[in-house]
Structure formats: C-alpha cells, structure tokens
Amino acid sequence: MMTDPISDMLARIKNACQRYFEAVDIPSSKIKAGILRVLEREGYINGFQEIVDGNRSILRVDLRYYEGKSVINMLDRVSKPSRRVYSKLKKINAVFNGFGIYVLSTSRGIMSDAEAKENNVGGEILCKVF
C-alpha cells in the first residue's frame, strides 16, 4: 500500500531525469494527470499519455531535456499527508524569483500559481517545480 502516491510520482520523475530516461511510467489517477497537465503547459515535460493495460492504467510521461540537461532541476512535495499546506492567493510567493512554479489544487481544479492568480483562487500547494 502506498501512503503518498503524489510523492511517488515526483520521485519517479526525478529519478528518471537523473538517469536521462526518455519516458517514465507512473500508475494513473486523476490528480496525477492534472499535475502532469500543468507541467506540460508550463514546458517542464514534453507530454504524457494514458495507456490502459488490462484492468490497470498507467501514465507514460515524456521527459524534456535541453542541451543534454533535464529541464526539471527540482521537484519537491510541499503539502504532505501528515502536514497539509494551504495558502491564500496573496500569500503565494514566486518560486526562485519567478523561474519556478507551484502546482496548486484549487476549487477550480489543479493549476499553476500564475493560473491561480489569474483566476483569483487559493488552495493546497501540492509541489514546487524549478
């Protein structure tokens, strides 16, 4: 049994980037797909696709590299099952002076910190990406 599937997904992506894999497979869920959509929109991954294999489905994530280095330098979980982190819109600061993003779970879905400011909503900070 896995206690934190989002942390598992982030660890799989970090490990695959360190080993320069082209793609990584992750067990599928709606929240993971939402996080991957944000990463794709922000340019941190090339894309992902859901593959159904029998009665289970996986997400195949195509990783992005630039000049031989991974685009993702840091991928950290902020809100954990043992300690949830919620933030109002005005208290969300820039990650690395605007070079990184926060991924938030809001009442309007999963979005980046810039999209949350645009939609004027706060929420749970899932992870930060740089």
Distance, in Å, from the CA atom of 84 to the CA atom of 80, rounded to the nearest integer, reads 5
What's the topology of domain 5-129? Ribosomal Protein S8; Chain: A, domain 1 (3.30.1370)
**Domain ranges within the chain, ordered by starting residue:** 5-129
Section 106-121 average pLDDT: 95
- The helix/strand/coil state of 74 is coil
Question: pLDDT tens digits, residue range 14-58?
Answer: 999 999 999 999 999 999 999 999 999 999 999 999 999 889 999
Distance, in Å, from the CA atom of 96 to the CA atom of 99, rounded to the nearest integer, reads 5
Which residue type occupies 97? Answer: N
Question: pLDDT tens digits, residue range 70-89?
Answer: 999 999 999 999 999 999 98
Look at residues 92, 93, 90, 120 and name the one whose alpha carbon lies nearest to residue 107. 120
Q: What is the pLDDT of residue 1?
A: 64
Residue 69, exposed/middle/buried by CB under 10 A (0-12, 13-18, 19+)?
exposed
Q: Looking at the predicted structure, is the pLDDT value of residue 93 above 90?
A: no
Q: What is the pTM of this model?
A: 0.94
The percent of residues above 90 in pLDDT, for the chain, comes to 88
Contacts of 62 (CB under 8 A, 6+ apart): 22, 23, 45, 46, 47, 48
Distance, in Å, from the CA atom of 86 to the CA atom of 78, rounded to the nearest integer, reads 10
Q: What is the pLDDT of residue 9?
A: 97
105 - beta bridge partners?
110, 124
Q: Looking at the predicted structure, is the pLDDT value of residue 106 above 80?
A: yes
Place of tokens 């696709």: 49
